[in-house]
Amino acid sequence: MDVLTEIILYAGFSGITVFIGGLLANAFNHHIKERKIRYEVTHTAVAFGGGIILSAVALVLVPKGLGQLTLWPMLVSFSAGSVIFFIIDRKLSKSGGKMAQLLAMLMDFVPESIALGALFASDTSTGILLAVFIGLQNLPEAFNSFRDLVLSGYTIKKTLTMLFFLSFAGIAGALIGHFFLQNSPNTTAHMMVFASGGILYLLFQDIAPESKMKNHQWGAIGAAVGFMVGMIGEKVI
């Protein structure tokens, strides 16, 4: 099997979990009727997804920037990500949209997929492990994104269709990384730091507050477990 075919297959695997996460969320909404269980599982899933997103920033995206970029270019990219996603989130809030999880998912999914494509030719084993890690990240994030999109007014069919097509973003990102950014580590690092700024804004503005449960403190354990999943993935990689 040639390198290009491997990139498409593994990036496709890492992306298809976006659609699977949406299907699981739809099944959960249809089959779990008890209000308390729905409330607890939903908020714990948000916390778990937030922990995984935070681990992507802390263990993958920011370290890439710290290792590759000098101080001021890194700060400019990080600040730009925060400000731009502040503007996007503000406009969505005014229109009644709830898409923080979807935006955060794409903000770590796409840069990591680009890194996957850039890395695969030189280090196939690490590329495979990164694909598995990205796929595991996408599952809870897509589960939560389904809820956000439905609450924003999208129909179930339209939401699942959107998640299905977004699942191919990993292949697109990996091919871009493979063909155009193998020899441009600075550009890849800027993208990752930019994504980090946007993710951290979304995490503390929208995702973390959504995970809090009244009269329950243990739900936040989901965030710790999510971060631990990221630690395991980083250690294995």
Q: What is the pLDDT of residue 217?
A: 67
CA dist 186 and 73 (Å) reads 10
Please state the rounded mean pLDDT for residues 43-67. 83
How many residues appear in the chain? 237
CA dist 84 and 196 (Å) reads 12
Q: Nearest Cα to 177, choosing from 102, 105, 127, 104? A: 127
What is the pLDDT confidence band of residue 88, given thresholds at 50, 70 and 90? confident
Q: pLDDT at residue 25 above 70?
A: yes
Q: Where in the sequence is the domain holding 218, given as residue range(s)? A: 3-236
Average pLDDT of the chain is 84
Q: pTM for this structure?
A: 0.81
Q: What is the pLDDT of residue 75?
A: 95
1-18 pLDDT per residue, tens: 788 899 999 999 999 999
Query: How many domains is the chain partitioned into structurally?
Result: 1
Structure tokens at 63: 């370290």
132-171 pLDDT per residue, tens: 888 888 888 888 889 888 888 889 999 999 999 999 999 9
Tell me how far the alpha carbon of residue 8 is from its chain's centroid.
19
Please state the rounded mean pLDDT for residues 82-104. 79
Q: Which tops the pLDDT comparison, 37 or 90? A: 90
Q: pLDDT at residue 118 above 80?
A: yes
CA dist 102 and 85 (Å) reads 12
172-212 pLDDT per residue, tens: 999 998 898 888 888 888 988 998 898 888 888 877 777 67
Distances (CA, A) of 190 to 69, 72, 121, 207, 218: 8, 11, 21, 24, 36
